[in-house]
């Protein structure tokens, strides 16, 4: 049993409200099993399996050679903020000045600082489920209250205007929207965004955090709709959150950014000055090169690979009796419905009672590491990352099929999708 903290190191209520990242916890369990000599396929992390493109790495080497190893400006280097500003004009037809942009140590820090700058105890933040697990915990660590709004497969795992209207109160400060979405790969259409915007216009106090970190990973005929193209009047209460990690396979470089109203960005910079100061110089130089490069073939080639993998995994898993997948429209995950497995019996006689136990069985029986639905606020599901090679994914779906086939029928009925309160 773990030793409780001594009185001298008693934890704050804030620390006790949050928990370890679901991905980190699942990856840790897989690593522990692998350390015992088991053959484990770890499909838990939202991390591109591709290497950072060579020209980006060479830009970092050149920055080192120039001696760019000192502190940087708290909101990010001027050159990188200018490159981000140019990216928004070029790719999104949006005009943001450098004073409306803050660069941080990853997009997660941007989200944390935005909420730290605006949320007081008792304030509410609307978080559609399924959600990225950090969303509700970042709300909590900033003394806010996450208001979880469930969606389902019928809505394509997307927030509806009726559901949004029903949960807005005088305490609501933010709505968080993520498109393309983690964990489902859902992408909002222009019409769907327009309907949400109509609700937001009736509630001018509600700000919008538009998480577009998977902006360039989409599988349709055209890029996803952008909230500020559909509803440009919401610009002065919208924060765009993005970064280099997913688009350019730069997760370890830790560079994300936010673009939004200058007053909000200025407050975020003040908070960042006391949290971490400016992001690392080399990562910023590399990201500047990534955004400014005239050769963006890596981005389109990676998108093509993710689309191929998403189609393969969705088709293969839909052929496995007892599980199903709503094919993702973007990002690099599949959210697998395993409700029909609840109540089935393992070969050792133990019944499967939840999606968490489904995930445990996949890892134990076949060495496939996934993340369970409760981590994302909607059961009975589990999430698989498709940011892995075609060969690994083919191996994984074969193993999953064998693990499912090994389960015997039980007495319980299939479990319908159920929204969960965000634990914490």
What CATH number did the domain enclosing 324 receive? 3.90.1150.10
Looking at residue 376, what is its pLDDT? Answer: 97
Q: Do 88 and 223 fall into the same domain?
A: yes
Q: Is the CB of residue 200 less than 8 Å from the CB of residue 175?
A: yes
Asked which of 257, 276, 292 is the last residue of a domain, the reply is 292
Structural domain contains residue 151: yes
By residue count, the chain amounts to 424
Q: CA-CA distance, 222 to 179, in Å (whole number)?
A: 14
The residue among 292, 310, 339 that closes a domain is 292
Assess contact for 238 and 212: CB atoms under 8 A: no
Return the pLDDT at 329.
98
H/E stretch holding 395: helix 390-405
- Looking at residue 7, what is its pLDDT? 60
Full DSSP string of 40-74: -EE------SSPPPHHHHHHHHHHHHTT--S---T
Same domain, 236 and 313: no
Q: Does any domain span residue 1?
A: no
76 and 34, same structural domain?
no
Instruction: Tell me whether residue 397 is in a domain.
Output: yes
DSSP H or E stretch at residue 371: strand 371-372
Q: Which pLDDT score is estimated for 411?
A: 67
Cβ burial, residue 95 (10 Å; 0-12/13-18/19+): exposed
* In a shared domain, residues 120 and 201: yes
Q: pLDDT tens across 240-274, in order? A: 999 999 999 999 999 999 999 999 999 999 999 99
Q: Which helix (H) or strand (E) holds 2?
A: none
In a domain, 14, yes or no: yes
Q: Are residues 337 and 368 in the same domain?
A: yes
> Nearest CA to 146 among 125, 176, 167, 128?
125
Question: So what's the pLDDT on residue 9?
Answer: 79
Same domain, yes or no, for 39 and 164? no
The answer to whether residue 270 sits within a structural domain is: yes
| Contact status, residue 273 vs residue 125, Cβ threshold 8 Å | no
Residue 424 located in a structural domain: no
> Does the pLDDT of residue 1 top 60, yes or no?
no
pLDDT at position 163 is: 98
CATH code of the domain containing 141: 3.40.640.10
Domain boundary among 230, 264, 292: 292
388 and 372 in a single domain? The answer is yes
Q: 255 with 119, same domain? A: yes
Tell me, yes or no, whether 213 and 311 share the same domain: no
What percent of the chain is predicted at pLDDT more than 70? 95
Helix, strand, coil distribution of the chain in percent, nearest 5: 45, 15, 40
258, β-bridge pairs: 102, 241
Same domain, 154 and 232: yes
Residues 172 and 269 in one domain: yes
Across 6-20, 80-94, 287-301, 340-354, least confident range: 6-20
Question: What is residue 423's predicted lDDT score, i.e. its pLDDT?
Answer: 41
Q: List pLDDT tens digits, range 114-172.
A: 999 999 999 999 999 999 999 999 999 999 999 999 999 999 999 999 999 999 999 99
Backbone angles phi, psi at 416, to 5 degrees: -75, 155
Mean pLDDT across 44-71: 97
2 found inside a domain: no
The confidence score (pLDDT) of residue 20 equals 81
- 292 pLDDT more than 80: yes
pLDDT for 409 beyond 80: yes
Q: Parallel, antiparallel, or unpaired: how do β-strands 41-42 and 238-243 relate?
A: unpaired
Provide the number of structural domains found in the chain: 2
The domain in which residue 283 lies consists of 54-292
Mean confidence (pLDDT) of the chain: 94
Residue 21 has pLDDT above 80, yes or no: no
- Domain match, 245 and 231 both: yes
């Amino acid at each position: 049993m773990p030793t409780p903290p001594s009185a001298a190191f008693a934890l704050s209520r804030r620390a006790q409200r949050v928990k370890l990242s679901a991905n980190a916890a699942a990856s840790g369990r897989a690593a522990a099993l692998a350390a015992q000599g088991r053959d484990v396929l770890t499909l838990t992390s939202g991390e591109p399996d591709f290497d950072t493109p060579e020209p980006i790495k060479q830009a970092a080497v050149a920055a080192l050679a120039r001696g760019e190893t000192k502190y940087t400006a708290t909101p990010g280097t001027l050159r990188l903020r200018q490159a981000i500003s140019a990216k928004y004009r070029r790719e999104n037809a949006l005009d943001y000045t450098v004073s409306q942009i803050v660069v941080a140590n990853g997009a997660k820090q941007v989200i944390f600082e935005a909420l730290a700058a605006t949320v007081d105890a008792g304030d509410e933040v609307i978080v559609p489920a399924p959600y990225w697990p950090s969303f509700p915990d970042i709300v909590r660590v900033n003394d806010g209250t996450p208001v979880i709004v469930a969606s389902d497969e019928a809505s394509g795992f997307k927030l509806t205007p009726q559901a949004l209207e029903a949960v807005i109160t005088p305490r609501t400060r933010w709505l968080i929207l993520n498109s393309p979405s983690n964990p489902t790969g859902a992408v909002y259409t222009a019409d769907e965004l327009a309907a949400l915007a109509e609700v937001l216009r009736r509630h001018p106090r509600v700000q919008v955090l538009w998480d577009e970190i998977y902006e360039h990973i989409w599988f349709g005929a055209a890029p996803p709709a952008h909230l500020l193209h559909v509803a440009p009047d919401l610009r002065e209460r919208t924060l765009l959150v993005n970064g280099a990690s997913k688009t350019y396979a730069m997760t370890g470089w830790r560079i994300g950014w936010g673009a939004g109203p200058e007053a909000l960005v200025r407050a975020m910079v003040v908070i960042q000055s006391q949290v971490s100061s400016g992001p690392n110089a080399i990562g910023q130089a590399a990201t500047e090169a990534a955004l400014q490069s005239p050769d963006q073939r890596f981005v389109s080639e990676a998108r093509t690979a993710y689309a191929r993998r998403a189609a393969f995994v969705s088709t293969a898993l839909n052929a496995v009796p007892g599980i199903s997948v709503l094919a993702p429209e973007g990002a690099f995950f599949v959210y697998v419905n395993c409700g029909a497995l609840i109540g089935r019996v393992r070969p050792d006689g133990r019944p499967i009672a939840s999606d968490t136990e489904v995930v445990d069985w996949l890892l134990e029986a076949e060495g496939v590491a996934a993340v369970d639905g409760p981590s994302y606020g909607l059961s009975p599901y589990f999430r698989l990352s498709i940011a892995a090679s075609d060969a690994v994914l083919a191996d994984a779906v074969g193993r999953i099929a064998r693990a499912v086939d090994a389960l015997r029928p039980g007495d319980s009925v299939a479990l319908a999708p159920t929204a969960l309160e965000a634990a914490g």
